[in-house]
Structure 1
Amino acid sequence: MSHSGDDWGEGRQRTALFVERKAYRRRRLMDIARLLPLFGALLFLVPLMWPNPDPYPAPDTSGGKPISEAITYLFTIWTLLIVASFVFGVAVRRWAENWTEGTDKPGEEAP
């Protein structure tokens, strides 16, 4: 069975090599929205890798990290994740307004 160069046969369709700009941006925003909680969870696990504080450290050794530093770290990461979520939400809202108008850039008119 021979096919010409442009004929893909029955049941197969050509797929575009490039997607339009709006779809590409929408997919990247969805990817960011999916990865932000995972990134936050990884940051919350960092204190588990810190060494335990030694109540009686030797003179030439570090005594590990105290729990107060771990708690401060966790609340700082928690606050930064809240701020990042807020900023991401505002950005998505602004970009979505441009997408629903059918424009790629704020100064362009829809065709």
Structure 2
Amino acid sequence: MSDAPGQGEPKTASARQLFLERAVYRRNRLIDAARLLPLLALFAFVVPALFLGTPGGDSEGGNTSLRLVYFFFVWLCLIATCATIARGLARDEGGEDTP
């Protein structure tokens, strides 16, 4: 007989413990996504503006309208992403039983 714990015992699903519970892990990833969202927004707004240059003399006539459509679309996507993250965080917070 050995005194080492776990030797000779079959490993079952109930015997194994998760490092983090799924709800805690999911909440942590949502918080990480919320923290990275401003950087993603900055990247989505600034980088295309840098590549496209300034509208004016040498640009095509439709270039400004395409930029406005792009920025409006990115803005709507950011709103939808924020709403999704907020709903996920609110649902996780409301479902917790521990203080």
Q: TM-score of the superposition, structure 1-length normalised?
A: 0.56
Q: Which residue of 2 aligns with 1:68?
A: 65
Distance 1:72 1:88 in 2: 24
- State the identity as a percent: 33
Deviation of 1:49 (Å)? 0.9
Q: Secondary structure at the match of 1:47?
A: helix
RMSD (CA atoms): 2.9
Q: Which residue of 2 aligns with 1:48?
A: 50
Tell me, yes or no, if the aligned pair for 2:30 and 2:89 is still in contact at 8 Å: yes
Change (3 A) 1:56 1:39: closer
Distance 1:56 1:84 in 2: 36
Q: Deviations over 1:66-106 (max 9, x none)?
A: 122112211111121112111221121112222x125xxxx
Q: Which segments of 5 or more consecutive residues in structure 1 lack a partner in the other structure?
A: 1-16, 58-62, 103-111
Q: TM-score of the superposition, structure 2-length normalised?
A: 0.61
Distance 1:31 1:56 in 2: 42
**Bigger RCO (CA 8 Å, 6+ sep):** 2
In the TM superposition, 1:30-109 aligns within 5 A as 30-45=31-46, 46-50=48-52, 66-98=63-95, 100-101=96-97
Tell me, yes or no, if the aligned pair for 1:52 and 1:66 is still in contact at 8 Å: no
Q: Which segments of 5 or more consecutive residues in structure 2 lack a partner in the other structure?
A: 1-17
